[in-house]
A = this chain, B = another copy of it.
Amino acid sequence: MSHSATTDYFTNRRTIRRYTDQDVPQELLEALIAQAAHAPTTGNMQLYSVISTRSLEMRTALSPLHFNQPQVIGAPVILTFCADLNRFSAWCAINEADPCYDNMQSFIAAAIDTIAFAQQFNTVAELAGLGVCWLGTTTYNAPQIAQLLELPELVVPMITLTVGYPAEEGTDVGRLPVEAIVHKEKYEPWTNDRISNMYSEKEAREDSQKFVSENGKKTLAQVFTDIRYPRANNEHFSEIFADFLKQSRFTK
How far apart sit A178 and B94, CA to CA, in the bound complex (Å)?
A: 21
Does A181 count as interface, using CB distance less than 8 angstroms? yes
Contacts of A220 in B (CB 8 A): 95
In the complex, which of the residues B1, B13, B46, B237 contacts A38, with contact meaning CB atoms closer than 8 Å? Answer: B13
Known A95-B219, A178-B34: A6·B11 in contact at CB below 8 Å: no
Residue in chain B with minimal CB distance to A159:
B112
Residue in chain B with minimal CB distance to A43:
B228
Task: Please tell me if the beta carbons of B1 and A2 are within 8 angstroms of each other in the complex.
Answer: yes
* Interface-centre pick from A132, A173, A178, A235 (highest chain B CB count, 10 A): A178
In the complex, which of the residues B39, B43, B95, B190 contacts A229, with contact meaning CB atoms closer than 8 Å? Answer: B43
Task: Please tell me if the beta carbons of B99 and A225 are within 8 angstroms of each other in the complex.
Answer: yes
Query: Within A67-100, which residues are at the interface with B (CB < 8 Å)?
Result: 82, 86-88, 90-92, 94-100
Known A37-B178, A123-B120, A242-B104: A1·B10 in contact at CB below 8 Å: no
How far apart sit A192 and B103, CA to CA, in the bound complex (Å)?
A: 24
Task: Please tell me if the beta carbons of A181 and B43 are within 8 angstroms of each other in the complex.
Answer: no
In the complex, which of the residues B36, B139, B173 contacts A44, with contact meaning CB atoms closer than 8 Å? Answer: B173
Task: Please tell me if the beta carbons of A187 and B49 are within 8 angstroms of each other in the complex.
Answer: yes
Task: Please tell me if the beta carbons of A119 and B127 are within 8 angstroms of each other in the complex.
Answer: no
Does A214 count as interface, using CB distance less than 8 angstroms? no
Task: Please tell me if the beta carbons of B218 and A96 are within 8 angstroms of each other in the complex.
Answer: yes
* Interface-centre pick from A186, A220, A225, A241 (highest chain B CB count, 10 A): A225
Told that A30-B182, A123-B123 touch, could you supply 16 new A-B pairs with CB distance under 8 A? A3-B128, A7-B35, A33-B182, A39-B119, A55-B185, A91-B195, A95-B220, A98-B225, A100-B225, A103-B238, A104-B238, A105-B140, A105-B238, A106-B238, A116-B122, A151-B187
Enumerate chain A interface residues (CB-CB to B < 8 A). Answer: 1-3, 5-7, 9-13, 15, 30, 33-40, 42-46, 48-55, 58, 82, 86-88, 90-92, 94-101, 103-106, 108-109, 111-112, 115-116, 118-120, 122-124, 127-128, 132, 134, 136, 139-140, 149-152, 155, 158-159, 173-176, 178, 180-187, 189-190, 192, 195-196, 198-199, 218-222, 224-226, 228-231, 234-235, 237-238, 241-242, 251
